[in-house]
Structure 1
Amino acid sequence: MADLLVKLYGLPPERAVVGVDVRRALPPEKHAVGAWVGTMFGPRWASEGSVAFSGHPIGCHIAIARVVRPGPASPDPGEPHSNGVLIGFACWDATARGFFGPEGVADAWRRKGVGAALLLQCLHAMRAYGYGYAIIGGVGPKAFYEGVVPVLEIPGSSPGIYQGLLR
């Protein structure tokens, strides 16, 4: 799986998804997000997400499906996801500076624009942080990325920074 290069100047605008809030995660959400990522996508991605939470600014963005409940907005205002359900996440500056990923969306929410919204929000955040380019490392679904932003495959980039990864 090769790495992809994304030019961050001249990105398409961020996208909205009806019924979904896409935003940068907050520090008190670290454990809830990490537990969800670990359950849905495994411990390696949970580890990368944890590292993204240690950055300033935080490099983990989340997608939350809004939940409409009768009565008070939340029975427990201290619950991180009491007003919605976590359905996706994306990180940058996790495994290496200037790298985007990992990114994951719950199966039921795939092909609905959530992944594209997360990707674009992260890439715009990277641009605002001062990066001119981003690397998407060890790409699996290349067609997904090509459908959202212009990308260039980096020759000779596989296995890249993941070479010798402890398994």
Structure 2
Amino acid sequence: MADMLVRLYALPERGPSRLAPDVRIRRALAAERRVVIAWIEERFGAGWAGEAETAFSSTPARIHIAHDRDRILGFACHDVTALGFFGPTGVEAAMRGKGIGEALLIESLLSMRAAGYAYAIIGGVGPATFYARAVGAVEIAGSTPGIYAGMLFPGDLASGT
């Protein structure tokens, strides 16, 4: 799976939300760390949970969550495996296709832009057409196998960011 590059200075403006009225996207809080990490590990495996733990190690946390009241629906991290990288990100299987992944992606990328980045790398992309459509991401030639080559948990990351 190749990496993709996003021009943060050319991100689309936040348009009308496709999210259900009770769905919120926000930065996760340190007090939520154990609940969020357990949720990620149960649904996406130890590799992604490990990366998400790193996201909680900075202030502010480098992880955004989508939730409906007290129910987690999805998450997105940035600057965890490498600086300037977006991911991992995931949405509850039953909630996919409702705009949650795109909202998490854009919120994380806007945070990266606010931190001073001009570009972001999406590592080991699975749904390339989604990233191209949502934020104009383009494939980085020669980026396979990329930073994740030789990992101890290769199957855990195989589904893509």
**So what's the TM-score if we normalise by structure 1?**
0.87
Report how many residues are paired.
150
SS of 1:9's partner is helix
Calculate percent identity across the aligned residue pairs.
54
**So what's the TM-score if we normalise by structure 2?**
0.90
Tell me how far 1:14 sits from its aligned partner: 3.2
The equivalent of 1:3 in structure 2 is: 3
Deviation per CA, 1:80-139: give whole Å up to 9, x if none. Answer: xxxx20010000001110000000000111000000000000000000011000000000
Runs of 4+ in 1 over 3 A off after TM superposition: none
CA contact (8 A) 1:13 1:120 kept: no
State how far apart, in whole Å, the 1-side matches of 2:83 and 2:124 are: 15
Structure ranking higher in helix proportion: 2
The equivalent of 1:30 in structure 2 is: 33
SS of 1:138's partner is coil
SS of 2:133's partner is helix
- What residue ranges of structure 1 are gaps of 5+ in the alignment? 67-83
Q: Does 1:143 align with 2:146?
A: no
Amino acid at match of 1:127: R
2:50 to 34, 47, 51: 47
Please say which structure displays the higher CA radius of gyration.
1
- What residue ranges of structure 2 are gaps of 5+ in the alignment? 154-161
Deviation per CA, 1:124-155: give whole Å up to 9, x if none. Answer: 00000110000000000111111211111100
